[in-house]
Structure 1
Amino acid sequence: MAAPSDSGPSLVRLSISLPARLFRQLDAMVAERAVANRSAMIAELIRAELAAHSARERPETELAGTITLIYRTDSGRVRHALAQTQQDAMAEIISSQHVFLGDDRSLEVLVVKGPAQRLHALCDDFRKIRGLEQCRLVTAGATHPAEPA
């Protein structure tokens, strides 16, 4: 099937074959997430994979996303190291939100924007902090206007 051109249709039909078990899992996901239909769910999954692929294949690609951190708040050393790492990345960190989870744990979500390579390196810098329980980067795609769905 030929790819649609910029002047061609904004929607194309795609036929795929899936193992029955995978098909049932897809339908369950569509229902659980209350997505409009399978096509919308598959498009969402493809967009996420394309963003991840772009980050791997083109490290200079500008991305936006979040870094989620979970850590124990009873360690001043951890908080200090996190603050220092954030200060060193002020060009990439747009915003942050901090929430106390209880049990002396905190959740911090950083909204980030920058080259894919730099965002992955920043996440790696956080992972080096002893006492950090979880660190996850999720990219939302390029910072330029999205292409039509």
Structure 2
Amino acid sequence: MQRVTITLDEDLLSAIDARVKSHNYQGRSEAVRDLLRTGLLDSSTHSPEPAKHCIATLSWVFDHATRDLAQRLSTLFHRHHSLIHTTQEIPLDHHHSMAVAVLKGESNSVHALTERVISERGVRHGRVFMVPIAPDIEEHAHGDQVEPHTHWRVRDS
């Protein structure tokens, strides 16, 4: 590891110290490393060679009263059905729900889909968490069947 010196204003340093305490980090360095990793994964330019594939969760809160929102999202999801593994909707109150989707596929396609969902009129809050993965095609037995299939290995960056 290399040591890096940075200058922070008092408010930001206080926020980092509060995170160290609330998340039980051993020190500021661990908290800052974790925040940087998360921030870099959230950005579309997190490495010189971005992951070609990812697995992701997308969560969003939406207003049921928004005209045609359900139809627009349904159409969007059907157009991108190969990226979607599952979706779940949780009612929050009489007007709002939270939805969660698990996605897997080519990183640029997953990112584009999540941006479309989050930007839809009626979506109040949205957040995506993407994890880089790499396909690894193997042939080995599962029970009495031997056939090639893909395992998705989590990448470090």
1:18 matches 2:27? no
TM-score (norm 2): 0.68
* Aligned residue type for 1:72: D
Change (3 A) 1:48 1:76: same
Q: Corresponding residue for 1:80?
A: 71
CA RMSD between the two structures: 2.7
Judge conservation of contact 1:95–1:112 (CA < 8 Å) in 2: yes
The higher relative CO (CA closer than 8 Å, separation ≥ 6) is in 1
Deviation at 1:76, TM superposition (A): 7.1
Aligned equivalents of 1:132 and 1:145: distance in 2?
A: 30
Query: How many residues align structurally?
Result: 135
- Post-superposition Cα deviations, 1:8-59, rounded to whole Å, max 9, x if no partner, equal xxxx352424335133331112112333432321221121233234x33656
Which SS does the other structure have where 1:91 is aligned?
Answer: helix
Which SS does the other structure have where 2:68 is aligned?
Answer: helix
Given the alignment, which residue of 141, 145, 149 partners 2:154? 145
Q: Does 118-127 or 107-116 show the bigger shift?
A: 118-127
Change (3 A) 1:59 1:118: farther
Higher helix share: 1
Given the alignment, which residue of 123, 127, 151 partners 1:132? 123
Gaps of 5+ in 1: 1-11
Q: Does 67-76 or 88-97 show the bigger shift?
A: 67-76
Judge conservation of contact 2:56–2:104 (CA < 8 Å) in 1: yes
Q: How does 1:1-40 map to 2 (within 5 A)?
A: 12=1, 14-19=3-8, 21=10, 22-40=12-30
- Post-superposition Cα deviations, 1:69-100, rounded to whole Å, max 9, x if no partner, equal 21122457222222221222222122222100
1:98 matches 2:107? no
Aligned equivalents of 2:4 and 2:51: distance in 1?
A: 33
TM-score (norm 1): 0.71
Change (3 A) 1:33 1:81: same
* Aligned residue type for 2:31: M
Aligned equivalents of 2:121 and 2:9: distance in 1?
A: 44
Given the alignment, which residue of 42, 51, 57 partners 1:52? 42
Change (3 A) 1:20 1:117: same
**Percent identity (aligned):** 19
Q: Corresponding residue for 1:66?
A: 57
Judge conservation of contact 1:60–1:117 (CA < 8 Å) in 2: no
Judge conservation of contact 2:66–2:121 (CA < 8 Å) in 1: no
